[in-house]
Structure 1
Amino acid sequence: MTALATIVLPIFALIGAGWGARRLNWLGPTAARELNRFVVWLALPALMFDIIAKAQWSELYRPGFIAVFGLGCLLVFCATTALRMASGAAAADASVDGLTAGYANVGFIGFPLLGAAFGPTSMVPASIASIITVCLLFAVALVVVEAGSAAKGSALSIAAKVTLALGKNPIVIAPIAGGLMLASGWTLPAGIDRFLTLLASAASPAALVSLGLFLAGSPGKIAWPVVTPLVAAKLIGQPAATWLLGRYLLPLPPGDLAIAVILAALPTGTGPYMVADLYQRDGAIVANGVLLSTIVSIATVTVLLGVFA
């Protein structure tokens, strides 16, 4: 009950505040997109840059954590994509569904949740997990979508498109820039450091309110036969796979294993919806997956926090 009251409820209350503000028409239909752009282009990159730039190399060098969390994401993505293709879905649609099952909402929920549950030391692994999700998993999904879309191209052209897309992503650029700052040994001027700190502090609450706004505009009709397995894979399959990997195959210290499992158990982020929208695939399944996984995760994440936190 303590974990529910002090960690989970405030996080989901912010999501509920965004949802209610949209439903009551306090914020307009473009609010979700605009606030999301603020988070993606300004606040979250500032947070990730600040975390990486001020970290120690010993904190970033976590090959076991990277392998366990990354393999957990890829296993769920690949299994879901393969099963959806076996059921007759097109490769592009199956890839979006796989992304829905394996894309943890690290940026919008992971940072504030881990900060509340595990403290500031959890921000570095959260940043690593965010990079894995946004770079590795996103890149693999885009390759499958590009390969399965009507406008087929060579492997080189697909690789170029994926590289260009990732190279323009501020969530990719920011931690790289932070790593360069860390490697240089320089420190930021006090004024710039304060600016980044203020901007970074807005990332978590703005991201959660933005997610609530997005969920308020999600389609109401749910395709249960498709969405339910995706949500089960996300909230049960991915944390279970991550725990098995980190407990038996690639043993992690208890603290790192707890963080990896909690991150893997997070609901689906909005990344798959962006891919569906970009490639004009069916966005209703993704939106419902985000909505349902977010609601159900209130219970599942609370249980896991009681076990691991």
Structure 2
Amino acid sequence: MLDVLSGFLVVVIVIALGFLVGRRDLLGPRAVYTLNMFVFWIATPALLISFLSQADLADVFGENLAVVVLSSVLAGLVGFLGFRHLAGRNVPDSLVTLLACSYCNGSNLGVPLVTHVLGDPTASLPVIIFQTAVYGPAVVLLLDVSTRRQARTEDGGATAHHSIGPLVRELVVGIVRNPLIIAAVAGIILATLRTTADWTLPELIAEPVATLAGAAVPVALIAFGMSIAQVRVLGSTSPKRSVWVAAVVKTVIHPLIAYALARLLFDASGAALLAFVVVAALPTAQNVFTYSQRFGTNTVLARDAGVVSTLLSIPSIAVIALLLG
């Protein structure tokens, strides 16, 4: 437990350093974007290749993936039904809330956090693959259908401007070009070659990959701290109550659902249980805001829930580490 908590304390210290750097604007106005792009396109793929190539694939895609799928769907339903029936909002707005309550930041923040807290970045790989390849595209298609139907209703039968063909192509291309998916496939191939043919990467290639992998965690956490210092949320136009509810569902209810599923279905305990719950406690991903902007629905909630859930995820994961570590 002390190892987990001390590792988490290091995460908090590095984030705080990034916050101070952002407050003083020491790295310039576009530094957060540049650092995040380095992490997303170079360092995190290297980290996934480095660890996944040495991992046991059955551990990565077994119970972990099942808990990710079931807990995400259930947490999303809590958000959708609450926003739809209790708040009385339309279907597109409720679908964005569904994502805000269940779509994890598994890459930019998830990989660094689980790497440092759990010591294994592959713990976040199932959620990245599920969300990128299945969950996100499925909800986006529902958003497309519902917003077009909503537009027809509001315009008295007029056709909305969204086209489902380009959207499907955009999603497919996005999945194929996603560096994390590419890295995951490469890592799986390398792991398979290691177990079946006893072949590993030559040292000349493995060393640079490991060096780049080492930059993923600190650079991502610095960028995260800087982004907190530069974002202003919960303004006069924000649905503050809904934002807080969505953030609490994401960082408290979602991990509780994951805990219950892991215990009841798989009798998980120890490090495995901790990994399941920590991954579920990751905050709302930036993709949710991107999707809401794409369809022009519930954008303020998507943006603010991402920031507030990120702030809440720090104490949430700390408590989880304390109780389960």
Q: TM-score range by the shorter chain?
A: 0.7 to 0.9
The whole-number CA distance in structure 1 between the counterparts of 2:243 and 2:81 is 16
Comparing 89-98 with 191-200, greater Cα deviation is found at 89-98
Secondary structure, counterpart of 1:106 in structure 2: coil
The whole-number CA distance in structure 1 between the counterparts of 2:239 and 2:117 is 34
CA shift for structure 1 position 184: 3.6
The whole-number CA distance in structure 2 between the counterparts of 1:84 and 1:252 is 32
Report the CA distance shift for 1:115/1:38 in structure 2 as closer, same or farther (over 3 A).
closer
Gaps spanning 5+ residues in structure 2: where? 148-159
Root mean square deviation, CA, Å: 2.6
Asked if structure 2 preserves the Cα contact closer than 8 Å seen for 1:59 and 1:124, the reply is: no
Matched with 1:302 is: 318
AA aligned opposite 1:249: L
Report the CA distance shift for 1:140/1:212 in structure 2 as closer, same or farther (over 3 A).
farther
Taking every aligned residue pair, what percent have the same amino acid on both sides?
A: 24
TM-score between both structures, scaled by the size of structure 1: 0.86
CA shift for structure 1 position 196: 1.0
For 1:93-242, list aligned pairs within 5 A: 93-119=93-119, 122-149=120-147, 150-153=160-163, 158-185=167-194, 186-220=199-233, 221=235, 223-242=239-258
CA shift for structure 1 position 159: 4.0
The whole-number CA distance in structure 2 between the counterparts of 1:281 and 1:31 is 29
Secondary structure, counterpart of 2:264 in structure 1: helix
Larger Rg: 2
The whole-number CA distance in structure 1 between the counterparts of 2:214 and 2:201 is 17
For 1:265-284, list aligned pairs within 5 A: 265-284=281-300
CA shift for structure 1 position 5: 5.9
The whole-number CA distance in structure 1 between the counterparts of 2:215 and 2:142 is 34
Secondary structure, counterpart of 1:107 in structure 2: coil
The whole-number CA distance in structure 2 between the counterparts of 1:124 and 1:266 is 15
Comparing 15-24 with 35-44, greater Cα deviation is found at 15-24
CA shift for structure 1 position 60: 3.3
Report the CA distance shift for 1:108/1:165 in structure 2 as closer, same or farther (over 3 A).
closer
Gaps spanning 5+ residues in structure 1: where? none
Matched with 2:152 is: none
CA shift for structure 1 position 266: 2.2
Comparing 215-224 with 33-42, greater Cα deviation is found at 215-224
Matched with 2:280 is: 264
Matched with 2:70 is: 71
Asked if structure 2 preserves the Cα contact closer than 8 Å seen for 1:90 and 1:148, the reply is: no
Asked if structure 2 preserves the Cα contact closer than 8 Å seen for 1:219 and 1:287, the reply is: no
Matched with 1:27 is: 27
CA shift for structure 1 position 197: 0.8
Report the CA distance shift for 1:304/1:75 in structure 2 as closer, same or farther (over 3 A).
same
